[in-house]
Amino acid sequence: MVFKHDVVIVGAGLAGLRAALEVTGKGDVALISKVYPTRSHSGAAQGGIAAALGNEEPDSWEWHMYDTVKGGDYLTDQNVAEILARDAPRAVYELEHMGVPFNRMNNGKIAQRAFGGHTRNFGEAAVKRACYAADRSGRVIMDTLYFEAVRKGIRIYPEFQMLDLVFRDGQAAGLIAYETATGELHFFHCRMILLATGGYGKVFKTSSNAFASTGDGVYLPYRAGLPLEDMEFVQFHPTGIHRLGVLISEAARGEGGILRNSQGERFMERHAPTIKDLAPRDMVSRAIAMEIREGRGIGGQDYVHLDLTHLGEKKLEERLSDISSFVRIYLGVDPAREPVPIAPTCHYMMGGIPTSTEGEVLDLQGERVPGLYAAGECSCLSLHGANRLGCNSLLDLVVFGRRAGQKMAGELARLPWQEAPERPGEETARRIARLKEKGTGEKTGVLRAELQEAMTLHCSVFRTEESLQKALACIGELQERYPRVRVDHKGDRFNTDLLEALELECLLGLAEAMVHSALARRESRGAHSREDHMERDDDRFLRHTLVCRRGGRVRVDHKPVTVTRFQPRARTY
């Protein structure tokens, strides 16, 4: 079928929902989402959303901006960080007005708590800046925005998976989506597309991300020849449940949790003397990896302990109840009595589709791609730089989701329709038929597991030229094997076998972009830690990486970082 809407938003996480709320009423907007909207991974966010409300103690947007820049190891574009920090209080009040049930202080104001890298007075000491609803902040914000979208009558297509973007004369003309329930292909004819498809942690073996986090929306523009930015920066969250990767929010340390090695030592005192366990994530993850490497993992194994026993049952129940229940369910451990086994887990992608502060997708020359927008984790505003601070993502989603929505609404009067192609989806249908026809071949799961294994081994917390070359070789080999993937499920209904085969192409392409970017950055900055180039090198590498496919090859380019208020300095905590 052909559906026609002015604006199609791909992804119903917080970024997509927030943008949709801005367009509705001004133009005809539709949301498509490959999972039911309320299953989007924004709902997994636990800790909170950052804003210098100053409710608990004095705070200012400038300190927030500074923390964002320093947390990003000065790769953050400072004009973007300024917009974020200044707009944060408004954004949080707006969420409260819509009904988000934030926790409260005794005086009735929104409660706030400490989080990694949030500091007072430019790094002096920790500050309480994270607004939260227990440890299900993302869930309640998403429910609120989702039902707001329903109330406003926004057209939602649940379980529709985008498989291709359609361009005409360099402008986005629409997209091809697969309806999971029926197996039909549809063409969405539109003037503007907003990609809000979230992260792609599934490139790695251990991840806090959902099974749906496969980065389809990041890969498709890359496949079409558009660049991706800062793809080498992958955030490993220090505290994933050992083996599973399920997240234990930084809020656990914000509320007083402590990391300990096999000797019971609070090792973060050595690595970050001022803010200790509340250092930014890249530093804590590295510290944990070092402890494990030097034999101080618990029982010599590959994990350390997160000690919450001193917080008391009441605090655990009131503020960290979900994560307490994860620990009980998956580890059989009562966090009030025993320490929790944790290890770093792939968590967040700082890199993605380069965009302007209005969500416009930018090409290699920095020119706007007419009709194409991106927001949320799939985008790269250069806001999080080389390492994102906790609670800045939810904020990013609502601040820049809104801005993208406003921009698109403004363009409605201007941007013409592009003609629909004659037989839209033909090529997509052929690709699907090819996958289904094959009687023999390899299984998606096997290739995916090999990719995840290789990326985890060679491209995670620590990297070297050698390890990255190994990763690259493995990706190349898997890409060669990919055309031999076979799909068992030949039917039309809920064919996840087919969809996962298609998603694998995205994972492979994104891994390729990551590794090429990581190879080109011969320095250590933020989450990108090269053991063969241990120092940050501002002279050569204070610049963004752009990676794209050109003529069958992967090419790496650069663009400058915007520095306004804060000159790069050594990053210590």
Partner 1 sequence: MEMQFRIFRHDPQVEAKPHYRSYNVKADPRDRILDCLNRIRWEQDGTLSYRMSCGHGVCGSDGMRINGVCGLACQQLVKDYEGQEVLLEPLPFFPVVKDLVVEMEGFLKRIGEQRPHLMARGDPPEKERLQDPRDRRKVDDVIRCILCACCTGACPVMTRNGDYVGPAALVWAYRYICDSRDSRYRERLKNIDFANGVWSCENFFDCTRACPKKIPVTRCINTLKREAEKLGPR
Ligand X SMILES: Cc1cc2nc3c(=O)[nH]c(=O)nc-3n(C[C@H](O)[C@H](O)[C@H](O)COP(=O)(O)OP(=O)(O)OC[C@H]3O[C@@H](n4cnc5c(N)ncnc54)[C@H](O)[C@@H]3O)c2cc1C
Give contact residues for ligand X (rule: CB under 6 A).
Answer: 10-16, 32-35, 37, 40-42, 44-49, 137-138, 161-162, 196-199, 208-209, 212, 216-217, 247, 249, 347-348, 376-378, 390-394, 397
Instruction: Choose among ligand X, partner 1, none what residue 348 binds, the Cβ cut-off being 5 to 8 Å by kind.
Output: ligand X
How far apart are CB 161 and partner 1 at their closest, in Å? Answer: 13
DSSP state of 233: -
Q: Establish if 489 lies at the interface with partner 1 (CB under 8 A).
A: yes
CB neighbours of residue 218 within 10 Å: 29
- Contact with partner 1 (CB under 8 A) among 38, 79, 309, 479: 38
Does 482 help bind partner 1 (rule: CB under 8 A)? Answer: no
Contact partner, 162, from partner 1, ligand X, none, Cβ < 5-8 Å per class? ligand X
Question: Which residue out of 18, 191, 260, 281 is catalytically annotated?
Answer: 281
What character string, x for contact with partner 1 (CB under 8 A) and - otherwise, covers 198-217?
------------xxx-----
Partner from partner 1, ligand X, none contacting 406, C-beta within 5 to 8 A by type: none
Q: Which two tokens stand for residue 187?
A: 């063409």
171, amino acid identity: Q
* Cβ distance to partner 1 smaller for residue 158 or 421: 158
Closest by CA position to 532, among listed 462, 457, 443: 462
Region of 225 (left: φ > 0; alpha: ψ -120 to 50; beta: rest) is left
Cβ-based nearer residue to ligand X, 199 or 257: 199
User: Amino acid letter at 444?
Assistant: T
- Residue 237 beta carbon to partner 1: minimum distance, rounded to whole angstroms: 14
Kindly list the distances between the CA atom of residue 317 and the CA atoms of 78, 308, 321, 323, 324, in Å, as whole numbers in the listed order: 38, 12, 5, 9, 8
For residues 40 and 18, is the Cβ–Cβ distance under 8 A? Answer: no
Query: What percentage of the chain's residues is helix, strand, coil (to nearest 5)?
Result: 40, 25, 35
> Does residue 133 belong to the site contacting partner 1 (CB under 8 A)?
yes
Count of alpha carbons within 13 angstroms of residue 47, beta-carbon side: 28
Query: Does residue 325 touch partner 1 according to CB under 8 A?
Result: yes
Please, which of residues 444-463 interact with partner 1 by CB under 8 A? Answer: 444-446
Q: Which does 286 bind (CB under 5 to 8 A by kind): partner 1, ligand X, none?
A: none
Determine, following the binding rule CB under 8 A, whether residue 104 of this chain makes contact with partner 1: yes
User: Which among partner 1, ligand X, none contacts residue 469 (Cβ within 5 to 8 A by kind)?
Assistant: none
SS3 of 128, please? strand
Minimum distance, C-beta of residue 246 to partner 1, in the bound complex (Å):
4
- The span from the CA of 491 to the CA of 481, in Å, is 24
Q: How far is the CB of 351 from partner 1 (least distance, A)?
A: 23
Burial of 498 (0-12, 13-18, 19+ CB in 10 A): buried
Q: Which residue is nearest to ligand X (CB)?
A: 13
Size of the site for partner 1 (CB under 8 A): 67
For residue 249, the minimal CB distance to ligand X (Å) is 6
Q: Which does 133 bind (CB under 5 to 8 A by kind): ligand X, partner 1, none?
A: partner 1
Using CB under 8 A, pick the residue from 25, 58, 125, 150 that binds partner 1.
150
**Residue 92 binding partner 1, by CB under 8 A:** yes
How near is the Cβ of 37 to partner 1 at its closest, in Å?
10
Shortest CB 204 distance to ligand X, Å = 12
How far, CA to CA in Å, does 517 sit from each of 56, 61, 192, 231, 351? 41, 32, 29, 6, 10
Comparing CB distances to partner 1, the nearer of 58 and 273 is: 58
Question: Is there binding between residue 125 and partner 1 (CB under 8 A)?
Answer: no
* Angle at CA of residue 52, ends 48 and 58, nearest 5°: 120
Closer of 140 and 468 to ligand X (Cβ):
140
* Beta strands per DSSP E along 423-542: 442-443, 462-463, 485-486, 529-530
Give the integer Cα–Cα distance in Å for 177 and 188.
7
Exactly one of 41, 253, 260, 549 binds partner 1 (CB under 8 A); that residue is 41
Nearer to ligand X, 369 or 395 (CB): 395
Q: Which of 79, 103, 406, 479 binds partner 1 (CB under 8 A)?
A: 103
* CA torsion, ordered 561, 563, 569, 573, to nearest 10 deg: -90
User: Is 374 an interacting residue with respect to partner 1 (CB under 8 A)?
Assistant: no
Q: How far is the CB of 160 from ligand X (least distance, A)?
A: 6
Angstrom distance (rounded) from CA 76 to CA 298: 36
Please say if 281 is a catalytic residue: yes
By the 8 A CB rule, do 204 and 344 touch? no
150 binds, among partner 1, ligand X, none (CB under 5 to 8 A by kind): partner 1
- Concatenated DSSP letters of 46-104: -S-EE----SSS---HHHHHHHHHHHTTT-S-HHHHHHHHHHHHHHHHHHHHHT----B
3-class secondary structure per residue, 172-196: EEEEEEEECCCCEEEEEEEEEEEEC
CA separation for the pair 174, 417 (Å, rounded): 10
Distance from the Cα of residue 371 to its chain's centroid: 23
Give residues in contact with partner 1 (CB under 8 A).
35-36, 38-41, 43-44, 53, 89, 92-93, 96-99, 101-111, 133-134, 136, 139-140, 143-144, 147-148, 150-151, 181, 210-212, 243-244, 246, 321-322, 325-326, 329-331, 443-446, 487-497
Active-site amino acid positions: 281
